[in-house]
Structure formats: C-alpha cells, structure tokens
Structure 1
Amino acid sequence: MTMLLRPGLFMVGLLLSVTAWAEVPVAIKGELKKWHKITVEFDGPNVSEHDDVNPFVNYRLNVTFTHTSTKAAYHVPGYFAADGDAANSGAQAGNKWRAHFSPNQTGKWHWQASFIKGRYVAVADTTKTGLDAGYMNGQSGAFTVAATDKLPPDFRATGRLEYVNEPYLRFAESGGYFIKAGPDSPENLLSYEDFDGSFKTDGIKDNLIKNWQPHRQDWKPGDPTWQSPGEKGEKGEGKGKGLIGALNYIVSKGMNSISFLTLNILGDDQNVFPYVDTNEVLRFDVSKFAQWEIVFEHAQSLGLFLHFKTQEVENQGLLDNGGLGLERKLYYRELVARFGHHLALNWNLGEENGEWHPNPPTPPQTSIQRLAMAMYFQQIDPYQHHRVIHNGQYFHDIAATGSHYTGASVQTSSPDFSKIHGAVKTLRSWPVSNGRPLAIAVDEPGDAEYALRSDALDPEHFNARANGLWGALLAGAWGTEWCFGYKNSHSDLTAQSWRTRDNFWTQAKHAIDSFGRFQQKNFML
C-alpha cells in the first residue's frame, strides 16, 4: 500500500488513517501491519552519490515513530534512496529519502521527521551540529497499524527476535526461542555478478565473483528479481535468480540462518563492499544496497536469520584505523538505516577480530575499540538487535562490566570438531556481568582447512554431527553455522551450491527439531 500526502490533504485508507500537513510530498509504503516493513518516503533534495556536497555525510534524516497510546518511541535513522527504484534503475541520483519502520504494536503511530544539513552531521553526537535542511524537517503524520496476517516461517508471524538477558534469543510475538542452523559459507555470499557495482570490473579477485548458477533451478515463479527486461517490454529475464534460488533451497532443507560479510576490502575475497568503489569509504552504492535489500527481504519471509558480518580480520583497521570515527560511524549508520528494520538478525562487529594475526594488513583493534563499536550500535539501532563479535582475540573484554555486547560468535580449530562442547561450556560458566549472560553461537566449527566437508568426501558427517552440532547444542549454544574451509573444492570462497552438503543439512534439521521439541525447556532455564 502506498499513500501520498500533499500539502493540505487529508487521506483515509483501508486499515490506515493519516493526517499530515506537508511541505513536501510524502508516501507511506508497505503493508500497515504489525511487524511489517513500513516505509516513509519523502521528496527531498535532488542529489547524487558523487556530489561535491556528500549527501551521505552532510545530510541527516531521522524519523521518530511514537505509539499514541503506550508512548513507545523508536528513533529511526533514514537514508538517501536516489530515485526510489535504484535496484531496478541503477540510479545514482534522485530526490527520494526514506526511513523504514517495523512496528511492534497495533494501533495508531505518530511520526515526525528531522532533516538536518551541515558538515559531518550524519554522524554528529550532538544536536548542536547542523542546520535546518528544509524540505521534510519538522513534518509529521500518523498511520494506523493492523495485526499481521503472516504465518510461520515468515518472521512477521513470530515477531522480532530479541536478546532478553538470557542465553537464548526469543521472538517478541510468539514467545518462542530460536535455535539456528545453516551455512556460514561462502563468506562472500554477496560477491554476486547480478549486483551493481565496480567490484566486477576492478580487476581485484574477479575470479571469485559468483553466478549462483547451480541454484537457478530453485527459483520459483513469483520470487523476486531485479532489473527485469520484461518490465520494459524487452526480451530476457530479471537478475537475482541464482541467489534467490539458493535461499529457497537452504530453507527447503529446514535451515533457518545465513551468514555473509558486508565489507571485505583487503580481505580474502575483496568483492563485497557497500561503497561506490574500494578507494571511497564515504560514498555508498545506493542501487547495490537496494538489491541487497531484495535478497534480505526474501530471506526473512522464508524464515532465514541474517548474520551480518560487518568486517573481517584483514580489514578491521581499514576504517578510522580501527577506531570509531567518521568512516566507521557512517558505515554502521547506513547498515542500520537500510537493514535494521528486519526482524531476525545480529550485528557481528568483527570476524576473527582483535590482536592475534601474525602479520595483520591493517591495525588490529584494541579492547577499547571493540567495546566502542558495540556501544555505538547500542546507541543507533532503534530495535536493539543482538550484538556479537568473533574470535580471534578471546572474549574477556566483551563480557566485562560496561560492555554492550550481548553474545559471542565462536570459532574453533579442531578437524574433528572435538573442542566445541568444551568451548561453549566454558563461556556459559563465566560469571554474568551487567546482569546479561552472553548468548553463544558456534559460527565456524572445525578447522580452517576443511571444516565441514562435502557429502562426496564425508557422506555421514559423524564428527560434525556428534561433536560439532550436538556438542554445541548440548553445551548451551543457541545455534551453529557451518564453514566450508579454504581447501575444499567447494570452499568458503568458491562455494556456489549448498547442495554439496545436502546430507548434513538433513542431519542439522533433525537436531534443531529434536532439541526444540524435547530439550529446549531444560536448556532455556
């Protein structure tokens, strides 16, 4: 549903009542239902990704949503959306500005926009920075939210997945706990030829770019695509079928989680980044972001948890030398603004993070910097999604008093997965600081070389199943994600077919179902 609001116009629609006196046109988009994505889209300044006055740095759109009865309030960061259809048009310029909201209550919600301009205002910590940018600044309106009509596994049926000061995450609507299982590989899942971007022509490890061809057979009519020639009367088909099909396949095997890097400049693959190119970390590729959103939205409708890995060991010092400055704050703000409305996700603030690498390409992050990242996410994420970090460096600092981390993402190194049970048990036995136990997931079980082998090499997966999968769950982990190692033919970087581990997904499905049915109550206490 889209409602257009213009100066002096009062509109009433199905399941919606909106009142707004607007200085610029405003559109309320999406299904106005609990837990659904509702978008407030403004006609703001017409700018470009490449303008001298950087629109990502020098404008700041925030929209506050307040429930009129309970007074619950969400302060949601907004973003520049080019022409509003950048996923299909590839646009770099336009006048559309958006904020996404996923309400947790039915009833009437009031919204009010703040639109400020000025140098570095996007990441300012004080309201003293910036000037009135005009356009939608100060505009307000309201809409009415009805109950969701979705059914599981769609997360809009179960509600937002929340950290609730327990070792397991819980759905806000259903009250059920979540036990995850799925692939951790390929880590460069978003290194995909159907996405827009300079990564395809920069000559940097272009051989690792994926087409996801083996999963095109799993795409179904009615599934999303982008840049479809048919929409313009031309012959051909839309983009994205391979990756969308991969999501369909992994869900058909009963898995409920996927994992991916969003920034791997200087890393193992170097083809995944949100920027217009690898030399510019203050300007973002709007159409690529919009295409990522199509994939993430489909994943959530299928019941797939999104594990955002925001950086890796090689590039932990790329932004602000590892500190919390303009570059890192802006990157995090863009992620939260564009994707934070999704219901089931965690922010992983560093894969293999910290000071442990023998020859780091960028400065390793210190404990102060590690803690600062989580604190910033706690400040800007209106939904307070689960915040984790991955070893590398061990977890003593993130479990200390004053930390804003809510969990640990664990990697082990034994080829037979035998270290997993003990690693989780040790972390579960730590004293609780801040009244918050760490929620622990095992996200890279096994050794770096092979980890989870293909069915062709290990059809029974005995050690992975017994020591890894069940070892983690019975020690108190809330789930596992499975790495494919770097020496396998279908590896952590080269894998394009999740069918290579088809037997194991069947075993993992049995484990999470059994754990949920027969043992979950005991281990949630």
Structure 2
Amino acid sequence: DCGYLDVQRKLYLRELIARFSHNLAITWNLGEEHHATQWSPYGQTYRDTKLMADYLRETDPYNNFIVIHTHSAPQQRLKDMTEYLGFRNIEGPSVQCGNIDEVHDDAKYWLKESSKANHKWVVCSDEIGQHWKGAMPDEFDPAHDTIRHKVLWGNLMAGGAGVEWYFGYNFPHSDLSCEDWRSRDILWDQTRFALDFFHKYLPFTEMTNANEITRDNFSYCLAKEGEVYAIYLPEGRGTEIRLPQGGYSMEWYNPRTGGDLLKGSLTNVNGGGFRSTGNPPASDGKDWVCLIKRE
C-alpha cells in the first residue's frame, strides 16, 4: 500500500494486535530506520506514520506503547523525531546511535524536548553502533566496560527507560544468527545489577538528571534534590557535589559485580555547598556509583 494506511496495512496491523497485544511489555515499534533518507529515498511520510500510530492506538485494546525506530545519524534522528514532539500517539523514540558517545546526551535531549512539548516521552536505547559490532559476545569482550558505561548507565542516568542490546553482524551469535543467549551471560548480569540498584535504592520516577551539580565532567548524576543522589563515576575516583543544607550518608555500589552497598573513605557529610564524596571502596580505576541520601 506504498506506506498509506490502506486495506493491506490495516489488515496487517489488526493481525498483529490480535496475535500479540495481550502479551506483557509489548512495544509497537514503527519501522526499521524509519523514514526516507538520501541513501534510501522511499519511506512513509510523517503524516502517514501519524495515521498508522492513530490506528494502532484506536484498535489495540491493551493500549500498548508506541515508538519509532530512528536512523543512526544524529542529524537524521533530529530531523525525523522532531516532527513527532507533542503528537499524542507517539510515546518515544526507539533510539539507534551509530556512536555510543551520543547515548547519554541524546536521551537527555529527547526527555527535555518532549517535556517542553507537553507530551513527555519514554526514551530507550534500542540499537548501538558500530553496526558490525554492537554488544559483543563475552568471549570477545568479557568486561563490557565501554557499553556498560556509555550505553547502559548512560541511558539510565539520563532518565531514560533502559537498553535493548543489539548484536553486531561481524561476531558469532549476531542479531540474525543468535542461537545461544548465554553468549552474553556476563552482560545480562551487568544489566541486572543496574536494575537492582535502581529498584532497591532509588525513587527513580521522582528523579531527574543533574550532571551540572557535580565537578566531574565525565560523571552522570541523577537526583531528587535535597533527598537522594546517585553519581556514576566511570574512572574509580570521587568527585564533589553541590548539596543543600542537611546531613547526608554516602555509600557505594559496584556496577560490575552488584551486591550490597559498600563504605568508601567518607560515610557522612553536611551539605551547604560543594562537598566531597570521598573515594570508592577500591582504587581500581573502574566505575563505581556513589549513593547519597539525606539522613
């Protein structure tokens, strides 16, 4: 039907809804690298996509989540997704980043812009570059240091909703050939450790990104001002954070191994300006998360 909301597309969408919409955590992800580009000039118009989203929302009795899969280039992503800011039936971007250095700031940008448009989005990191690499199997990248830092914690500490791990095609068990989910067993553990931290220790639905209140240019900070702060520090050292008046406790979490909170070189601090977090429990040069709570 050439992208139009015509008989074939309606039939296809109704069949998808009938078969799958009752399942938990369904996301209707519209397209693969959706919209026309210079190198792929055929695709739905923005109007066509909005009509398709409207039809999904009207037809799906379970009111499942609707997103759009983006292109990997930041300029194209910006051009396309800006068209949907404020549109009621698109609820977020399914973000593909060709460069993982963009993940954190990109999530922050769309959360801010969608809030300004009075229809706040849920922002997930869907696919990471390079396209041939993605999240490599444990046997090739047993530490997963870079993607844990820049993608997993990068998205979550921006206020994003999390990550869908893409497997690049130059490695065994790629996105099209994976027959063994244990090929990335270590990565699943590290992902679970991040979820454990957020669910056990943070009122994360009440928190927003606040990188500007720390003095480490490479850290991520998520805050409920005056109550609780989480600082992700990628290089295993402390920083300073601006805290309101009051007493605060400080503990540390290891995002590589999970487990209980640990004590660092400082355990308490009084606010009223910039205050040191002290150092993490181990000077290993690896990432740590500092948890600060009002006493």
- TM-score normalised to structure 1 length: 0.37
CA contact (8 A) 2:93 2:123 kept: yes
**What count of residue pairs does the alignment treat as equivalent?**
201
Q: Deviations over 1:13-32 (max 9, x none)?
A: xxxxxxxxxxxxxxxxxxxx
Q: Is the 8 A contact 2:133 2:169 kept in 1?
A: yes
Deviations 1:310-358, CA, capped at 9 Å, x for gaps: xxxxxxxxxx111110110000011112222223211111121011261
Alignment-derived partner of residue 82 in structure 2: 396
Per the alignment, residue 341 of structure 1 pairs with 22
Give the share of equivalent positions with the same residue, in percent: 37
Classify 1:365/1:433 alpha carbon distance in 2 versus 1 (closer, same or farther; 3 Å): farther
The letter of the residue matching 1:396 is T
Cα distance in structure 2, aligned partners of 1:365 and 1:447: 26
Alignment of 1:130-169 (within 5 A): none
- 2:125 is paired with a residue whose SS is strand
Structure 2 counterpart SS, 1:511: helix
The residue matched to 1:429 in structure 2 has which SS? helix
Cα deviation code 1:410-434 (max 9, x no counterpart): 11012xx221101101111105377
Instruction: Give the equivalent residue in structure 2 for 1:329.
Output: 10
**For the residues of structure 2 that align with 1:420 and 1:336, how far apart are their CA atoms?**
31
Shift of 1:454: 1.0
Alignment pair present for 1:449 and 2:132: yes
- Residue in 1 that maps onto 2:190: 507
Q: 1:523 aligns with which of 207, 215, 228?
A: 207
Deviation >3 Å, runs of 4+: 431-435
Q: Any gaps of 5 or more consecutive residues in structure 1?
A: 1-319
1:409–1:443 Cα contact (<8 Å) kept:
yes
Which residue matches 1:352?
33
Q: Find the counterpart in structure 2 of residue 459 from structure 1.
A: 142
**Larger Rg, first or second structure (1 or 2):** 1
Contact 2:131–2:169 (8 Å) recurs in 1: yes
SS for the counterpart of 1:454 is coil
Query: Counterparts of 2:88 and 2:83 in 1: how far apart (Å)?
Result: 8
Q: CA shift at 1:407, angstroms?
A: 1.5
Query: Which residues of 2 match residues 392-471 of structure 1 at below 5 A?
Result: 392=71, 393-394=76-77, 395-400=81-86, 402-414=87-99, 417-432=100-115, 435-471=118-154
Alpha-carbon deviations, 1:181-237, whole Å to 9, x = none? xxxxxxxxxxxxxxxxxxxxxxxxxxxxxxxxxxxxxxxxxxxxxxxxxxxxxxxxx
Letter in 2 for 1:405: I
2: CA distance, partners of 1:365 / 1:410: 18
The alpha carbon displacement at 1:481 in A equals: 0.6
TM, length-normalised to structure 2: 0.64
Query: Greater relative contact order: 1 or 2 (C-alpha under 8 angstroms, separation 6 or more)?
Result: 1
1:431 to 1:480, Cα distance in 2 relative to 1, 3 A: closer
Alignment match, 1:196? none
Alignment check: 8 A CA contact 1:452 1:483 kept: yes
Q: Select which of 175, 183, 192 maps to 1:492.
A: 175
> Which one of the candidate residues 347, 367, 381 is aligned to 2:60?
381
Distance of aligned partners of 1:432 and 1:522 in 2 relative to their CA distance in 1, 3 Å threshold: closer
Q: What is the alpha-carbon distance in structure 1 between the residues aligned to residue 32 and residue 187 of structure 2? A: 24
Q: Distance in 1 between matches of 2:40 and 2:31?
A: 17
Structure with a larger share of its residues in helix: 2
SS at match of 2:164: strand
CA RMSD of aligned residues (A): 1.8
Say which SS state the counterpart of residue 482 (structure 1) adopts.
coil
Distance in 2 (alpha carbons) for counterparts of 1:521 and 1:386: 18
Amino acid at match of 1:426: Y
